[in-house]
Amino acid sequence: MTNVNAADIQGFVLRGYNFPVARYLFLEISQDNGRHFVSRLTPQITTGEPWDKKPRSTVNIAFTYKGLVNLNLPTLALFSFPADFVQGMKERGAILNDTGKNSSEHWDLMWNEEQVHAWLSVDALSANELDHRCAELQELMQETGGAVVIGSQDACAVLIDGKYTNTEHFGYTYGFGNPDYLGVMRNSGPGQGKLEYDGRWGVLATGELLLGYRNEAGNLPDAPVPKLLAKNGTFMVYRKLHQNVAAFRNYLDDQGRRYPGGREKLASKFVGRWRDGTPVELSPHHPDPDIVADHNRNMNFTYSSDLNGSRCPIGAHIRRGNPRDAFGFNGQLVNRRRIARRGVPYGQYVPEGLPVRDEDERGMIFMALNASISGQFEYICQQWIEYGNDARQGIEKDLLAGNHNGRGRFIITGTEDPSDPPFVCGNIPNFVEVRGGDYFFVPSITALTMIAGGTIDPR
């Protein structure tokens, strides 16, 4: 049994906080005083230890490669980081298909100024508490002279009828299905880990999330040296995804008038879940709130008995992101590609039926945690989202997240039921556009202490 030291791991890595509001501060680190700032900040970092009572706010930090350079890590340690992290998201654009409207020339300005050295995350129970904690952190930066804020991003759970919800701007319920990892304690249910050969659900190897532990191949992930710098750390992908809500609703209206099942059933086929979160694989013809509410059922499904996609289309968003056992071999080809996801909407939610503009700022802050950026996030993005050959989809992209440039196509397999015929959606526009992001290293508390003290020795 692998035991992880939750007190040494940043809490953001081990669990989703589920706070209603968040602010991500992007910092430029001072080469002269950056370590002093990290030293003063480290005692405030929220760890993965269980809470007796939910705190009013949390603080976590991660660094780009340029940030680690400014923190004066030894050259040998810097050279030992994986190439994907060193290059950063913008330089990996060809792999991610960040072209056209997704290319870095259209990103928010700060991502092109090469000065984002750190991501400082604050999650809070209220807007007032968020402002208060951020003000304290600003004072710490000024007092130490170790960092300055060069940009920020507010995010907030969508408010509907005065209540915070797990609804995103396209109207889908999100937050299902983060993986289970060996030794990571969380409130898990069937379907969140990996499929065992006896049909039960097991846990993924710790090394798929955390550095310093063996992964599903039985190997230690590529990691920086010395070992203490890497262990209990991970890599984070931060990606700001703008949502073209007007384009999505108009497209769904147009196609929904043609589709025999109607607009809402078509929306369920796009994602693989009805908008309330019901898995299409378990309930292909109608939403079922009982399934959504049942933690033992809402993730407990496979695709091996639906290989032609008659219930859940092969190209549906959640099936592309996690094909489960659809590729055969009892899911073994998928287990090395899993990622832990954190996501929070940003921008004002506009209810269905009201005027909405694509030009307005709204979307999702997508964050992925993985031990290997290239082997996990980049593989999913390149091979399953932007290219579909593994799922016999050829060059067709993920309908929701793909970079279509107005030429996308999505196929819904029909059944023998005359009311459920095959259906093809064509000329798909970009519903999602990338507005910036980068790759970050999320150190352990031990590593933060070493960075602050200048005690890293890679020899």
pLDDT interval class at 176 (50, 70, 90):
confident
Give the three-class secondary structure for 408. Answer: strand
Decide if pLDDT at 58 tops 60: yes
Maximum alpha-carbon separation in the chain: 71
What does the pLDDT average to over 26-34?
Answer: 97
Question: C-alpha distances in angstroms, 2 versus 269, 285, 371?
Answer: 39, 42, 16
Query: 3-14, pLDDT tens digit by residue?
Result: 799 999 999 999
Amino acid identity for residue 418 in this structure: P
- How many secondary structure helices (H) and strands (E) does the chain include? 14, 14
What is residue 419's predicted lDDT score, i.e. its pLDDT?
A: 76
What is residue 157's predicted lDDT score, i.e. its pLDDT?
A: 97
Give the three-class secondary structure for 283. Answer: coil
- Segment among 166-170, 283-287, 325-329, 391-395 with least mean pLDDT: 391-395
What is residue 359's predicted lDDT score, i.e. its pLDDT?
A: 97
Decide if pLDDT at 177 tops 80: no
What is residue 114's predicted lDDT score, i.e. its pLDDT?
A: 84
Selection from 206, 207, 202 nearest residue 191 by Cα: 202
pTM: 0.97
What is residue 394's predicted lDDT score, i.e. its pLDDT?
A: 82
Q: Do residues 256 and 250 touch, judged by C-beta distance below 8 A?
A: no
% residues pLDDT > 70 (the chain): 100
Query: 207-249, pLDDT tens digit by residue?
Result: 999 999 999 999 999 999 999 999 999 999 999 999 999 999 9
Bridge partners (DSSP) of residue 154 are 23
What is residue 2's predicted lDDT score, i.e. its pLDDT?
A: 61
Q: What is the mean pLDDT of the chain?
A: 95
The C-alpha atoms of residue 227 and residue 456 are separated, in whole angstroms, by 10
Domain residue spans of the chain? 6-158+201-237+437-453, 241-435
Q: Do residues 182 and 206 touch, judged by C-beta distance below 8 A?
A: yes
Burial state string for 422-454 with b = 16 or more CB within 10 A and e = fewer than 16: ebebeebbbbbbbbbbbbbbbbbbbbbbbbbee
Q: Tokens standing for 43?
A: 């005692």
